[in-house]
Amino acid sequence: MFKVHNFSAGPGILPADVLKQASNACVNFENLNLSLLEISHRSKNYENVMDEARSIIKDLFEVGEDYEVIYLGGGASLQFAMVPYNLLSENGTAAYLNTGVWSTKAIKEAKIIGNTNVIASSEDKNFNYIPKDYSIPSDADYLHITSNNTIFGTQIKKFPKSPIPLVCDMSSDIFSRSINANDFTLIYAGAQKNMGPAGCTMVMVKKEALGKTGRKMLSMLDYQVHIKGGSMYNTPPVFPIYVTLLTLKWLKQNGGISWIEKINQQKSNVLYNEIDRNSLFHGTTSTDDRSQMNVCFLLNKPELEVEFDKLWKDANISGIKGHRDVGGYRASLYNALPIESVNVLVEVMKYFENKFT
């Protein structure tokens, strides 16, 4: 099978070894002569998967027993509602930083739950930068931020020192770089970028932050219920959690976050250097806020779009068309994408420049 260079923004590329292991598990899981897709989630074999999938998160993030990890369905979009439902008190206020489409949606859901204050936004420039000069209200219940913005190609490089609980949607850059996870009260992420396939969402939360809203909680939206049930209060998304575990084990076995951070930096440097050098392209975001995960760029001569599209498709490149809110191109450099794929894209860009200038 020929190599396709997969720059899809999500669901994103997965390691080849993980796909092979997952395929085998679909036929015969742990020599049970049963498929992973048909065994009980209450079986000891799957309980072991769930336990390891939860513990490896804490291991990679280097956090202690004051945190709990749960896996849920509904994507990160469900967390837009569950976060304020579990952390925003009935008479309190939540603070939000608005840096793109996903934070805008999170803010919309929070406003339904309770008082919500947008303390800073980059919407005035189509979210092409990260706001930096803002004050965090010390009396708010929490501050919600989005670490990386897939659509607009921006990323928070330095997290705020928050006097209130810090909540972060890390869906598109989780485990791509070193952070101090202990600075956060809650981190959540849809799996389908760096962690696994679509279908499950990871939430890591400090236990002390829960049970303080003053409202009567619906069971399926209550973090404490899912913690008590070991992420199996109801039938969990069995296969996505298993593939997520395999992906995180792949990361850990190869050297962990410090290992992949260096590779991710190399990949983004190679591509951004070519965008800045090449006379036919330019980036879309503030240089200081450029995402290492989602590289957005435009043609300086839009009339050549058909010609460029033909070149990258002929090179077996997939998934670099930009989002409609930005246009142009977007190359997603998630953990499993090899630097060889970035080099192929760069060579196409160089050839394109030589041919049309």
Task: For the beta carbon of residue 25, count every other beta carbon within 10 angstroms.
Answer: 20
Give yes or no: 193 in active site: yes
Cα 226 to its chain centre, rounded Å, is 22
Catalytic choice (58, 66, 132, 193):
193
Per DSSP, 281 falls in state E
For residue range 224-276, list pLDDT tens digits in order.
Answer: 999 999 999 999 999 999 999 999 999 999 999 999 999 999 999 999 999 99
Evaluate if residue 185 carries a pLDDT over 70: yes
* Verdict on whether the full-model pTM lies above 0.95: yes
The per-residue pLDDT for range 191-223, each reduced to its tens digit, is 999 999 999 999 999 999 999 999 999 999 999
- Count of residues making up the chain: 357
Q: Is 312 a catalytic residue?
A: no
Strands (E), the chain: 5-6, 67-72, 93-98, 115-121, 142-146, 148-149, 154-155, 166-169, 186-190, 201-206, 281-283, 294-299, 317-318, 329-332
| Short-list 82, 103, 321, 111, CA closest to 223 | 82
DSSP letter, residue 38: G
Cis previous bond, 11, omega within 30: yes
Q: All domains of the chain, ordered by start, with CATH?
A: 16-254 (3.40.640.10), 256-356 (3.90.1150.10)
Residue 2: the pLDDT is 55
User: How many whole angstroms separate alpha carbon 138 and alpha carbon 27?
Assistant: 53
Which position among 3, 17, 44, 169 bears the catalytic label?
Answer: 169
Say what the pLDDT of residue 122 is. 97
For the question of residue 102 being annotated catalytic, the response is: yes
Work out the average pLDDT over 309-338: 96
Q: Evaluate whether 115 touches 92 at the Cβ level (below 8 Å).
A: yes
